[in-house]
Amino acid sequence: MAARAGVSNALNGTGRLSEATRQRVLAAAREVVHAPASAARALARGSTGVLGLTMTTLDRSIPDG
């Protein structure tokens, strides 16, 4: 089992890992079809890139009746 920090560094291309270790981690990630979670990425960046929109009805007519 690899340390989380080492795996993170290998996947992000940061840190001080040997090229052999980096390649082993990347190969293992390909085997398990690693896809970075968008929620985790947004948390790390501090931004989701999502725009919210709220709309209300401005028609306040009185119904017939």
Residue with tokens 């007519």: 61
DSSP-assigned letter for residue 29: H
pTM of this prediction exceeds 0.75: no
pLDDT of 26: 92
Q: Using 50, 70 and 90 to split pLDDT, how confident is the model at 54?
A: confident
pLDDT of 27: 93
pLDDT digits (tens, 9 = 90+) for 15-39: 999 999 999 999 998 888 777 788 8
Q: What percent of the chain has pLDDT over 90?
A: 26
Q: What is the DSSP string of 35-54?
A: ---HHHHHHHHT--------
Residue 2 clears pLDDT 80, i.e. is over it = no
